Chain A
Amino acid sequence: MRTSTFLNFLFLLIYKHKSKHIAISLISILIVFLISSVLFISSSIQKEVFQTLDAQSDFVVQKINSGKIVNTPNYWIDDFRDINGISNIQERVYGQYFFEPSKKYFTIVGIDLFEEATNKNINLLLKKLNISEFLSKDSMIIGNGVNEVFKKFHYFDDYSFKLHNREVKKVSIFKSLPKDANIIANDLIIMDIFLAKKILNIQEDESTDIVLNVPNELEQSNIKIELILKHLDIRVIQKDDIKKAYENLYNYKGGIFLILFIIVMITFGLILYQRYTMISSSDKKEIGILRAVGWSIKDVIKLKISETFIIAFISFLIGVIIAYIYVYFLNAPILSNIFLGFGNLENRVSYTPNIDFSTIITLFLFFIIPFISAVLIPTWKIAVIEPSESMK
């Protein structure tokens, strides 16, 4: 069989049978779009979260009182300094602030502007910051989500925080963070540590928790034990544990992604099963006619596989392209909320393209093999029966 003639006929048949292919193509595009979108979102979130985590300290230490996390006394910092192998030990101040007008929570983070922060992202921010100007009055840097809420309630230049003693503290808005920091910093308010303590009602000699680094990775487990031995009412969180937790949450092989995958794959399986069982009488007759006019079983199967492959490939390609546009250009409306949560502030994140091609190829194979099998098996079954029977 001459390839050019075969291809001419193949594309002619696909074009003429377009109404027959349209339903399965649309469903396939939708399924590929959903799975690809989930993959793109998960890999982008994972990249962003891991980049953020990489910038964090190796250990977080908190105080536990009657099973509750309470403020950590700062004298613990001196206690921990005695342990060999610890560096960059610092207090951290953060907490949630309820913004009554919109019934939303903001996260206030206090930073010590005169010490090198353990968090690389905050260090970067501090380098770009004109500290004298920032400290000339009580100022704050706000996340994009906070900025939107403030604007909505006409707080363009400053906002007065309510304190525990019913007084208010006016803080001016210094600047807002760029939108590309939205995944992690949408609801953040960054301010001087002492101001943050005042607003969050944390005593001057206390902090929310203490962070520290252990440069020698091999020593980390030993130091964790030493930290616990220093104080009995202590909770030590290692960065690797947080990483593992996020990995389980956002990896496509785990958590909600796995559930989504299973649901989509079951749906896809059902559609293919329907296609398998519904090879219509017109398909049967078509195969019979081809066989009667001299096409061999091999020719017929080649035609049907090629036809199915082209339909599946085009559907896959369209699905992936739409998913790419949906996630990276439109920032995944609706689906994004499923992964980032509907709660609190509306988060308009922008995802950075981070495509794992091996995953795309795996997805392609998982899609194409069942798709072709669902057509190949019934086609072969029809093709091997006598043409006089299949034309009836």
Chain B
Amino acid sequence: MIKITNLNKVFNQNTKKEFYALKDINIKIQTSSCVILKGVSGSGKSTLLSILGALSKPSSGDVIIHEDSIAKLPDLHSSAFRARNLGFIFQSYNLFNELNVEENISIPLVPLGFNQKEINEKVEFALKLANIEHKKDETVSNLSGGEKQRTAIARALVNNPDIILCDEPTANLDSVNSLKFIDVMRKLKELNKTIIIATHDPIFDNLDFVDDIINIKDGYILE
């Protein structure tokens, strides 16, 4: 379970430009559920997602994932936590454009101590799961938006994480590719992954596999 308690995130604290991105957030997300964080641009949903992913630290409050507090973890531990438990899918894919699909997908496995054979097996599995196997030798810069998205999904799945975090995953996709993305998420839900998607896309509004929609506005959770 993921438990967020009294979470605040303040930028430029104690200056004239002080800005509250998140205010007093309290959420519980059940394991293997799919949750949508919904809100307009600047509402704070991406900030919340990056705190959940240990990519940034909260100003106050706590985030407990699998009974471990990740809010104040030192770098070495938060990196290890990300590498073993989390998979990220970013709006702008965040891939290495010079590398090919297979090489991009293997990046999260490098610090985990696997040998090359194990890496190859895991990458092969992720390629199949994200349905991008046919493009594995293609350089990322030559891929379409949808293919880049599937490469990013494969990279997020390669370390077999329990939690998948998606930040505006359909923002750069057309409707066909958006639906394909939703199919992959449905498949992941069936594999008992916990999925958290930060989006303002209405395509996620009435999906059967979505367990909860949390609306965020100006850093607050709307009841």
Contact = CB atoms under 8 A, between A and B. Distances in A.
B127 to A, nearest CB: 16
Given A16-B99, A289-B107, 4 more contacts: A1-B111, A291-B79, A298-B76, A386-B57
Nearest to A19: B98
21 contacts: A1-B111, A2-B114, A2-B115, A5-B113, A8-B116, A9-B110, A16-B103, A17-B98, A285-B94, A290-B107, A292-B53, A292-B88, A293-B108, A295-B79, A295-B83, A296-B75, A296-B80, A297-B75, A386-B50, A386-B57, A389-B56
A12 interface: yes
A388 B111 contact: no
A311 to B, nearest CB: 16
Residue from B47, B96, B115 having most chain A Cβ neighbours under 10 A:
B96
A292 B55 contact: yes
Interface in A372-392: 384, 386-389, 391
A304 to B, nearest CB: 14
Which 5 A-B pairs give the minimum distances between C-beta atoms? A294-B83, A296-B79, A388-B50, A16-B98, A293-B108
Interface residues of B, number: 37
Interface of A: 1-2, 4-6, 8-9, 12-13, 16-17, 285-286, 288-299, 384, 386-389, 391
Contacts of B55: 291-292, 386-388
A6 B110 contact: yes
A5 B110 contact: yes
A288 B53 CA distance: 13
Given A5-B115, A6-B110, A386-B55, A294 B99 contact: no
Interface string B75-99: 1100110111010101000111011
A4 B116 contact: yes
A8 B115 CA distance: 11
Contacts of A384: 75
Contacts of B79: 291, 294-297, 299
A1 B47 CA distance: 30
Contacts of A297: 75-76, 79
Contacts of B103: 12, 16
Given A292-B55, A293-B107, A5 B83 contact: no
B10 interface: no
A304 B70 CA distance: 27
B116 A5 contact: yes
Interface string B40-64: 0000001100100101110000000
Nearest to A286: B96
Nearest to A299: B111
Q: Interface of chain B, helix or strand or loop or mixed?
A: helix
A332 B119 CA distance: 51
Contact of A295 (B56, B57, B110): B110
A16 B103 CA distance: 11
Interface of B: 46-47, 50, 53, 55-57, 75-76, 79-80, 82-84, 86, 88, 90, 94-96, 98-99, 103, 106-116, 119, 155, 159
Nearest to A9: B110
B110 A1 contact: yes
Contacts of B50: 386-388
B115 to A, nearest CB: 6
A294 B87 CA distance: 9
B83 A293 contact: yes
Contact of B119 (A5, A12, A290, A292): A5
Contacts of A16: 96, 98-99, 103
B119 A294 contact: no
Contacts of B119: 5
Contacts of A298: 75-76
A299 B116 CA distance: 18
A384 B78 CA distance: 13
Given A1-B113, A16-B98, A388-B50, A294 B155 contact: no
B61 to A, nearest CB: 16
Nearest to A297: B75
Nearest to A12: B103
A335 B35 CA distance: 71
